A = this chain, B = another copy of it.
Amino acid sequence: MPRTRATPAGTPDGRPGTHEAERLLPPPRDLSRLCIHTVTTRPWSLPEAAAAYERAGIPAITVWREAVAGHGPAEAHRIIADHGLTIVSYVRGGFFAAPTAAARRAAVDENLRIIDEAAALGAPLVVLVCGAVPGQLLETSRAQIRDGLERILPYAEAAGVRLGIEALHPVYADSRSAINTLRQANDLADDLDSPALGVVVDVYHLWWDPDLRDEIERSGRNGRLFAFHICDWKTPTEHLLLDRGLMGEGCIPLRRIRTWVEAAGFDGYREVEIFSESYWREDQHDFLEKIKHAYLTHA
């Protein structure tokens, strides 16, 4: 059961002056800005997911590369279009950091293919998990990431596909991303300064960051806030990758972060991305209903 969460107005025993009174947005009125990542309902094939989302009144879809694998991007586009769904993002590119120059060149080539796939799929955005190599200094990985981005940006611009840098929680700094705060993602995007390059705000990765509000404002001000991913952080978290919670189940002040994101000018979809072995074991139609309820209550 979703727990009641302390909001600024309702913090039990909150000391006055602890934080300014903050006006939060109301919950979403309807499903018109709800998007689901196919990985959230991983047991379903792409055709099953697209059909189920349509039936459930969900208007948009973000597509994981593994969901496309059996079809190819053009067929995947047709499947999705047949169900009247809007494609929000293609996930995921990146992984630019690598220990050898050959491996880094291979990563660049792979990202060019991903951009081609996104274009064929009709996805306007590729989400980037930037990469890290265990034992390699994070600065070295960051320089390699910058270099990889620089090499693929002209291709993305030409293809009309945008790239969104997703800062990953510091718990993934060892092996998945050397970009671990929104400030770092903004710095990188500002530095490379392309209209095709922006950032992705995923509440799971960023909720703890004391600079989050400022950095969300900054990315919005600079026109670089490309996507917004939602879920929750459970206490306890049983698995580092595959135990995300449904909105409202955990400690993330989602309404508050959504308020910041939308105050910064973001008017795109709110994308539900939940990696969860326990939810994947459930009936996925039931799970979809839980997602809709959690979205309308807690997003």
- A contact residues vs B (CB 8 Å cutoff): 3, 5-8, 11-15, 18-19, 99-101, 104, 134-140, 143-144, 147, 169-171, 173-175, 180-181, 184, 207-210, 233, 235-237, 240, 250-251, 253, 256
Contact A181 to B169, CB < 8 A, known contacts A135-B3, A136-B6, A174-B251: no
Residues in chain B near residue A144, CB distance under 8 A: 15
Residues in chain B near residue A135, CB distance under 8 A: 3, 5-6, 250-251
Most B-side CB within 10 Å, residue of A5, A137, A138 = A137
- Is A251 a contact of B134 with CB atoms below 8 Å? yes
Tell me, rounded to whole Å, the shortest Cβ–Cβ distance linking A159 to chain B: 27
Give bound CA distance, A157 to B92, whole Å. 53
Residues in chain B near residue A175, CB distance under 8 A: 235-236, 251
- Is A136 a contact of B237 with CB atoms below 8 Å? no
- Is A235 a contact of B137 with CB atoms below 8 Å? no
Residue of B whose beta carbon sits closest to that of A7: B137
The listed residue (B7, B210, B250) touching A138 by CB distance below 8 A is B210
Residue of B whose beta carbon sits closest to that of A237: B240
- Is A139 a contact of B18 with CB atoms below 8 Å? yes
Give bound CA distance, A64 to B143, whole Å. 41
Copies per assembly? 2
- Is B18 a contact of A140 with CB atoms below 8 Å? yes
Residues in chain B near residue A250, CB distance under 8 A: 134-135, 174
Contact A99 to B140, CB < 8 A, known contacts A5-B135, A171-B170, A180-B208: no
Tell me, rounded to whole Å, the shortest Cβ–Cβ distance linking A265 to chain B: 24
- Is A210 a contact of B184 with CB atoms below 8 Å? yes
Residues in chain B near residue A236, CB distance under 8 A: 175, 240
- Is A11 a contact of B169 with CB atoms below 8 Å? no
- Is A14 a contact of B181 with CB atoms below 8 Å? no
Residues in chain B near residue A251, CB distance under 8 A: 134-135, 173-175
- Is B13 a contact of A101 with CB atoms below 8 Å? yes
- Is B174 a contact of A235 with CB atoms below 8 Å? yes
- Is A8 a contact of B137 with CB atoms below 8 Å? yes
- Is B140 a contact of A233 with CB atoms below 8 Å? no
Tell me, rounded to whole Å, the shortest Cβ–Cβ distance linking A157 to chain B: 24
The listed residue (B99, B147, B171, B210) touching A181 by CB distance below 8 A is B210
- Is B6 a contact of A137 with CB atoms below 8 Å? yes
Contact A99 to B12, CB < 8 A, known contacts A6-B136, A140-B6, A174-B235: yes
List, sorted by A's number, 29 A–B pairs whose CB atoms are closer than 8 Å. A3-B135, A5-B135, A6-B99, A8-B137, A12-B99, A12-B100, A12-B136, A13-B104, A15-B143, A15-B144, A15-B147, A18-B140, A18-B143, A19-B143, A134-B235, A134-B250, A134-B251, A137-B253, A137-B256, A138-B208, A138-B210, A169-B171, A170-B208, A174-B235, A174-B237, A174-B250, A175-B235, A175-B236, A240-B240
